[in-house]
Amino acid sequence: MTITKTNIEGCVVIEPTIFEDNRGAFFESYNKKSLEHYLGMPIDFVQDNHSISTKGVLRGLHFQNGVFAQTKLVRVIRGEVIDIVVDIRKQSRSFGEYFKIRLSEENKKMLFIPQGLAHGFLALYDNTQFIYKCDQYYKKEAEGGIIYNDPDLNIDWEFPSEFIILSEKDKKLPLFKELEL
């Protein structure tokens, strides 16, 4: 596996080593020992989530607050997404910055997202399947978010805004500068 740092402190892209032959392909999608060795810290994922979205669905930008903050390992098993993380850790040197990557069933890339980042993704195909591991259980009372089209973040989602599909909750998320962190 190849691990590459991003501009966001602690956030890394993981590219698995893929073994292909006439039968198909094989790769390790998660290896706790290797990831912990690279990061130099223990990881204890406790929950796996599986999201299925139609083309144009944007989920995010979400986060969990305080002791319920989540580390995530995300990947796409069908389709493709534009995946975005925003650093909301005030003490971080990358505070207020974002990182964007395309994750797909073809490239098999994964993104390791440390606690303290807002996260969202936009499905580029119908029936896009997005799975992720979390190191904390979801707690509704601890959820937070940032509106996807925040003018200060200026994220290019590479998709016509008139075709973006949002949940009612995500339509009402605050601006980055309105967050109480």
Letter string b/e over residues 40-49, b meaning 16 or more CB atoms within 10 A of that residue's CB: eeeeebeeee
Catalytic residue among 98, 119, 132, 148: 132
Q: What is the pLDDT of residue 141?
A: 93
Letter string b/e over residues 78-98, b meaning 16 or more CB atoms within 10 A of that residue's CB: ebbbbbbbbbbbeebebeeeb
Domain that holds residue 60: 2-178
Task: Report d(CA 64, CA 141) in Å as an integer.
Answer: 9
CATH number where 145 lies: 2.60.120.10
pLDDT at 181 over 80: no
Catalytic residue among 38, 62, 137, 138: 62
Instruction: Establish whether 119 is a catalytic residue.
Output: no
* pLDDT mean over 129-137: 97
Q: What is the pLDDT of residue 175?
A: 96
Instruction: Establish whether 62 is a catalytic residue.
Output: yes
pLDDT at 164 over 90: yes
Q: How many domains does the chain have?
A: 1
The CA radius of gyration of the chain, in Å to the nearest whole number, is 16
Q: Quick one: pLDDT band at residue 99, thresholds 50, 70, 90?
A: very high
Residue 15 exposed, middle or buried by CB count within 10 Å (0-12, 13-18, 19+): middle
Q: What is the pLDDT of residue 77?
A: 97
Entry pTM? 0.94
Q: What is the pLDDT of residues 63-94, one digit of tens each?
A: 999 999 999 999 999 999 999 999 999 999 99
Closest CA to 86 of 49, 136, 121, 124: 121
Across all residues in the chain, what is the average pLDDT? Answer: 95
